[in-house]
Amino acid sequence: MHRLFHWIPKLTTTPGPSPRPFRFLQPHGALHCGALSLETLARKFGTPLYVYSADQIAERLALFQQAFAGRDALVCYAVKANSALAILNLLARRGAGFDIVSGGELERVLAVAPDATARVVFSGVGKTPQEIDLALAADILQFNVESQAELELLAARARRLKRKARFALRVNPDVFAETHPYISTGLREHKFGIDIRRALALYKSVAGDRWLQVHGISVHIGSQIRSADPFGAAMDRVYKLVRQLHRAGIPVHCIDAGGGLGIDYHGGSFDAAAKVSEYAQALDQALDGFNGRLLLEPGRFLVAQAGALLARVLCVKRNGSKTFVITDAAMNDLIRPALYQAHHEIVPVRSRAGKPRIVDVVGPVCESGDFFARDRSLAPVRPGDLVALLDAGAYGMAQSSNYNTRPRPAEVLVEGRKARLIRRRETVADLLAPEQDVQEK
Ligand code: LLP
């Protein structure tokens, strides 16, 4: 299964052999998510609007689960990619665990899938005592500890609450992953993890601690990594450390391989099943002989291509030699292009006759950084038309903000022939609510 959102006129070919959860409609029809027209969704729920396919998310989870079916493996979805409660619920019901990075994310899991806390791992480079206490009380599966100081804090909190803390050290394997520098994390100079050369000594130093249980080793080398090689290289190093620990009398039963598997944002043919199996093979090869538990923390791979941001064209204007298509969605709704120069395909929801034009697609926010695409060839659009920004299911809504006092979009989850409003559109009143003591005294 490939992309879910299709600009129908481009796609009059017959579907490939694998069943796909979208329908080919007539040429000149509207873009659909599953069985539903995005025009209908825009009419019903307004724009900007995040639209997600539940079917594709479930399918991607299943791909991961199947690729590792030969092992004792657990997929712990990285909540940060898209933390919508309905999506967490959908994943939990299909057996997923969760990788969280804050007390807030744990509260989300507790809110919709309290029985999944036994499948939660807690990552992150700085955890507060309150967050640790919350996670200890929830009896989560594993703390991924990123420094000696954090390990000491964890031991102190566990002692205080009389709860044993299962932990893994997140090691930094010093592996280069070719991706955007902001989302690469596996090099020694990054803030993440513990130098893999120091890990053995640190494990040894707490091996007898009454309140700490050596549970695993974790690693995460970055995000949007397209090649399986760096994952294999990192796993080689991790498995070497597992063997060293065994020799030192410290058995490690669990390896957390992190997340990071990338997708294709350029709309090429993307074989998700082949990608996951290539990834699984790279890990399997490196872990030959390891019979313990394997945790995986995919985020983007499960949700990115299941989502689109639907926006309406407000106006089309020319300045100098440039043409700007201004939409009602902006950088506060989807910041990836501005922050990482990330590419998102943009397609008109219904095609018009005429030649494509080279345009910048931008939002109304008062910054030149507020763009979705620069010098992009776009089929003709007019004010009032709908456009869809594709592959926006991961790190879209999750990284949105209220910059310019812009209420954030509503979110809709499409399941078969039904669309569920899973988050209502914010109102300006929602935004003003926390403010107080505003009058000068
Ligand atoms: N595990 C850990 C410890 C992580 O830090 C991350 C992502 C993941 C798992 C999930 O990685 P994924 O499978 O989604 O690549 N905002 C950026 C991506 C930041 C990723 C941060 N960590 C973006 O929009 O591209």
Q: What does the DSSP assignment read for 96-114? A: -EEEE-SHHHHHHHHHH-G
How many angstroms separate the alpha carbon of residue 189 from the centre of ligand 1?
Answer: 18
**82 pocket-lining for ligand 1 (C-beta < 6 Å):** no
* Ligand 1: nearest atom to the Cα of 258: 1
Strands annotated E in 40-182: 49-53, 72-78, 97-100, 120-122, 142-145, 165-172
What is residue 78's predicted lDDT score, i.e. its pLDDT? 98
How many angstroms separate the alpha carbon of residue 191 from the centre of ligand 1?
Answer: 15
What separation in angstroms does the CA of 242 have from each of 171, 193, 197, 216? Answer: 12, 16, 12, 9
**177 pocket-lining for ligand 1 (C-beta < 6 Å):** no
Separation between Cα atoms, residue 3 and residue 250, nearest integer Å = 45
Q: Which residue from 80, 91, 178 has its CB within 8 A of the most atoms of ligand 1, so it is best to mutate? A: 80
Q: Which residue from 223, 265, 331, 397 has its CB within 8 A of the most atoms of ligand 1, so it is best to mutate? A: 223
Kind and range of the H or E run holding 360: strand 357-362
Separation between Cα atoms, residue 142 and residue 245, nearest integer Å = 18
How many angstroms separate the alpha carbon of residue 299 from the centre of ligand 1?
Answer: 6
- With a CB cutoff of 8 Å and minimum separation 6, the contacts of 140 are 106, 117, 118, 120, 121, 122
Burial of 301 (0-12, 13-18, 19+ CB in 10 A): buried
Q: What are the structure tokens assigned to 292, written together?
A: 């313990």
Separation between Cα atoms, residue 294 and residue 287, nearest integer Å = 10
**393 pocket-lining for ligand 1 (C-beta < 6 Å):** no
What is residue 385's predicted lDDT score, i.e. its pLDDT? 98
Q: What are the structure tokens assigned to 185, written together?
A: 């994390």
What does pTM read for this prediction?
A: 0.94
Q: What is the DSSP letter of 164?
A: P
**395 pocket-lining for ligand 1 (C-beta < 6 Å):** yes
**298 pocket-lining for ligand 1 (C-beta < 6 Å):** yes
Architecture field, domain 5-53+305-431: Beta Barrel (2.40)
* Ligand 1: nearest atom to the Cα of 298: 13
Domain segments of the chain as ranges: 5-53+305-431, 124-296
pLDDT tens, 115-145? 999 999 999 999 999 999 999 999 999 999 9
Tokens 């790190």 map to which residue?
Answer: 395
**193 pocket-lining for ligand 1 (C-beta < 6 Å):** no
What is residue 4's predicted lDDT score, i.e. its pLDDT? 52
What is residue 6's predicted lDDT score, i.e. its pLDDT? 44
33 belongs to the catalytic site? no
The segments of the chain whose pLDDT lies below 50 read: 1-2, 6-24
Backbone dihedral angles phi then psi of residue 213, each to the nearest 5 degrees: -115, 120
**258 pocket-lining for ligand 1 (C-beta < 6 Å):** yes
**60 pocket-lining for ligand 1 (C-beta < 6 Å):** no
How many angstroms separate the alpha carbon of residue 265 from the centre of ligand 1?
Answer: 16
Letter string b/e over residues 336-355, b meaning 16 or more CB atoms within 10 A of that residue's CB: bbbebebbbbbbbbbbeeee
**223 pocket-lining for ligand 1 (C-beta < 6 Å):** yes
What is residue 186's predicted lDDT score, i.e. its pLDDT? 66
Name the closest-CA residue to atom 7, ligand 1.
223
Name the closest-CA residue to atom 19, ligand 1.
183
Domain 124-296 in this protein, CATH class: alpha beta
Separation between Cα atoms, residue 85 and residue 316, nearest integer Å = 36
**146 pocket-lining for ligand 1 (C-beta < 6 Å):** no
Name the closest-CA residue to atom 22, ligand 1.
223
How many angstroms separate the alpha carbon of residue 81 from the centre of ligand 1?
Answer: 7
Catalytic residue (one of 33, 76, 254, 366) = 366
Radius of gyration (Cα) for the chain, nearest Å? 23
* Ligand 1: nearest atom to the Cα of 170: 3
Q: Is 288 helix (H, G, I), strand (E, B) or coil?
A: coil
Q: What are the structure tokens assigned to 147, written together?
A: 């420094």
